[in-house]
Amino acid sequence: MKIERPRGTRDFLPDEMEKRRTIEKIMRRIAESYGYREILTPTFEHLELFTIKSGEGIIEEIYAFKDKGGRDLALRPELTAPVIRMFVNECVGMPKPLRFYYFANCFRYERPQKGRYREFWQFGVELIGSSSPLADAEVVSLAYRIMDELKIKFDLHVGHVGLLRHLLRDLDENVASKIMRLIDKKDVEGLEKYLDEVGVSSDLRDSIFSLVELVGDRDVIGSAKEIIPDFDFGHIEKLCDVLDALDVKYKLDFGIARGLDYYTGVVFEAYAKEGLGAQNQICGGGSYRLAHLFGGEDTPATGFALGFDRIAEICEVELERKKKVVVVSFRGLEGEAFKIANTLRDKAVVVTDVMERNIKKQLSYANDINADLAVIVGERELKEGKVAVKDLRSGEQKAVSLNELLDLI
C-alpha cells in the first residue's frame, strides 16, 4: 500500500530545499543587520493562546487536538501570539525594545490551492515595546528591504485599522469583528448584506464604503480626514515621512482590515504582482497589543510575517555552487579513496562509491549526478603518491600529486 502525504502538505526535494535555504539565508542576513535575533517557540501551544484574540478566521482553521492528558492543544497557525506569550513568560526584564525574528512552519486547515497550504512557513519579525510610528517605519521598511533584495515585484499597501475601528466603535464587538473580516476578504456583497442585516445607519454605511475605497498616495489622508474628522492622523503622517525619506514605495490603503483580530494601529500587506494568481499576498503585518491578554503588562508591539512558500515560488535566486567531486576507486582501495575524499571536503562536495560498483559504473554515476571532477584512485598512481583527475566537462585526464589535487579544486 502506498501512503500519500496529507492534503495541503508538501515534500521538498534537494533542488527546492537548496533554493529555499538560499532565500532563508538572505532574509536572516537582512533581519540580523537591523539588530533582530532569532527565537523559536514550540510547534504546538495551548489552544487558548490562539482563541483569545486571533479572531474567528483563524479559529475556524486551527489544527486543534487533545493530548493524552486531555489538554486542548493546537498546532501554531502563526507566531505572533506565541512570541508574545514567550515575551511575557521569559523576557520581561530585558531592555526594550526587543527585536526578534523567526522562521518556522505554521498550520492552518485551509482549502489547499496554489500558494495556500495546510503546512506553510513564515519568516517574521516582532519589535516589542514601542508604540512610536518609528517602530512601524522600521518594521515596514525591513519587510520592504527583504522583498526588494529578493527582486520580487510587489505592491506594498499601508493602512491603519484604527480608522475602521473608530468608525465601528459603537457597534457590538462581535459585529465589528465580522465587518472587519468581510472587509479583509474584500467581500463587498457579503458586507452589504451583513450591514443590512445588523441595520447600521446609512451614514455609517457610506463612511465604511468610502473609507475602504481609499487607496492612493499621501493625498488620501485628506479624504480620510473628511470621513473621520476626529481621528488623529499624526501617527500615519510621521510614518509616511520616514517611509518617504527611505524611498520606500507604498500606497496608503485604509481598506486593509487584516484577518487577525489583534491589530490596533498601522497595518500593512504586500502583494506579488506576478506568478501567484489569487493567493498573491506575500506579507502581512502591523502593530498590535497582546501581552496584557497573556498575563503581562500592556505592551505595544509591531511586526510582520512573510509567506515564505509564496516567495520561494516566485523568487529567482542564484544558488551558491560548490564543485562536485566523485572519488572513484578500484577494489581494495576504498579506504584510500575515503581518506582522499576527506582531505578534499573543506573545499568541495565529495562523494565516494558505496555501491561496490566497477570503475566504469562509478564514472557513469559521476556523469549522472553532474559532477565536475572524478578523482580516480588506482594502485599504480598511488605508489607514486598520485591520483588521476578527470575533468568531466572536457574529458581531459591527468595524473597529479595529492597536493596538486587540493590546488585543483
**From 39-47, 122-130, 227-235, 338-346, span contacting ligand HAM (CB under 6 A):** 122-130
Residue 92 Cβ vs ligand HAM, minimum distance, rounded to whole Å: 20
Distance CA 56, CA 53 (A): 9
CB 217 within 8 A of CB 243: no
Per-residue binding letters, 259-298, with ligand HAM (x by CB under 6 A): xx--------------------xxxxxx-x----------
DSSP secondary structure letter of residue 273: S
Distance CA 402, CA 387 (A): 7
Residue closer to ligand HAM by CB (options 236, 307) is 307
Is position 300 an interface residue for ligand HAM (rule: CB under 6 A)? Answer: no
**From 231-239, 302-310, 354-362, 371-379, span contacting ligand HAM (CB under 6 A):** 302-310
Residue 282 Cβ vs ligand HAM, minimum distance, rounded to whole Å: 5
Which position among 56, 110, 148, 155 is part of the footprint of ligand HAM (CB under 6 A)?
110
**From 32-40, 97-105, 114-122, 375-383, span contacting ligand HAM (CB under 6 A):** 114-122
Distance CA 337, CA 148 (A): 46
Q: Which of 279, 271, 259 is nearest to 180 (CA)?
A: 259
Is position 82 an interface residue for ligand HAM (rule: CB under 6 A)? Answer: no
Which position among 122, 264, 329, 362 is part of the footprint of ligand HAM (CB under 6 A)?
122
Is position 309 an interface residue for ligand HAM (rule: CB under 6 A)? Answer: yes
Distance CA 173, CA 55 (A): 11
Q: Which of 259, 303, 275, 288 is nearest to 152 (CA)?
A: 275
Using DSSP's 3-state secondary structure scheme, residue 348 falls into coil
CB atoms closer than 10 angstroms to residue 189? 8
In degrees and rounded to multiples of 5, residue 386 shows phi and psi of -125, 170
Residue 206 Cβ vs ligand HAM, minimum distance, rounded to whole Å: 29
Place of cell 481598506: 255
What residue ranges in 95-198 does DSSP mark as E strands?
Answer: 98-107, 119-128, 154-160
Which position among 82, 124, 133, 162 is part of the footprint of ligand HAM (CB under 6 A)?
124
Interacting residues toward ligand HAM by CB under 6 A = 78, 80, 108, 110, 115-117, 120, 122, 124, 126, 259-260, 281-286, 288, 303-305, 307, 309-310
